């Protein structure tokens, strides 16, 4: 699985003007399943994000995890993280998991992250979403469970 994690002070996702998910301090997670991903990758990614020490401690240093900082996560499916630009300027997305498989892994990831004690808000899989955020820091981390 691939994820782009952004530390945020606020973030929300809307579909057709309806707010589906909204958080204050925490992380926005754009997540993409790729062929071959399964429960092992879901849990590895959830554990990594829940414990990623990118939140400020009392001294202002990035030393606290999402769990320790009592932050929330807004999780949005993002198949474009699997973009292949090797054949020119128009991206190909054959590197993303098939929609039915990807949706199941997305849902499993959200459940696994919540299982680590993180409040989770979600987008809507496959929808045309508008994501608003204030990137705090900015802090943006790329995670690939295959690496």
Q: Which residues are catalytic, by number?
A: 78-80
Q: 60-66: which pairs have CB atoms within 8 A and are 24 or more residues apart? A: 62/139, 66/26, 66/27, 66/118
Q: Are 113 and 49 in contact (CB under 8 A)?
A: yes
Per-residue CA distances from 20 to 3, 11, 99, 123, 138 (Å)? 20, 11, 20, 6, 24
65: closest CA among 1, 116, 132? 116
Half-sphere exposure of 123 (CA within 13 A, CB side): 25
What is the full DSSP assignment across 60-89?
A: S-EEE-TTTTT-EEEEEE-GGGG-B-TTSS
Structure tokens at 42: 């879901």
């Amino acid at each position: 699985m691939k994820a782009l994690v952004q530390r945020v002070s606020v973030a929300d996702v809307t579909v057709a003007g309806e707010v589906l998910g909204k958080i204050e301090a925490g992380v926005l997670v754009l997540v993409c399943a790729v062929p071959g991903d399964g429960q092992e990758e879901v849990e590895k990614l959830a554990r990594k994000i829940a414990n990623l020490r990118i939140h400020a401690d009392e001294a202002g240093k990035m030393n606290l995890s999402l769990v320790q900082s009592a932050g929330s996560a807004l999780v949005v499916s993002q198949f474009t993280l699997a973009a292949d630009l090797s054949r020119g300027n128009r991206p190909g997305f054959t590197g993303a998991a098939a929609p039915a498989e990807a949706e199941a892994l997305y849902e499993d990831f959200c459940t696994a992250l919540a299982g680590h004690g993180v409040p989770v808000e979600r987008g809507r899989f496959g929808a045309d979403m508008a994501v608003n955020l204030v990137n705090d820091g900015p802090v943006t981390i790329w995670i690939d469970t295959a690496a």
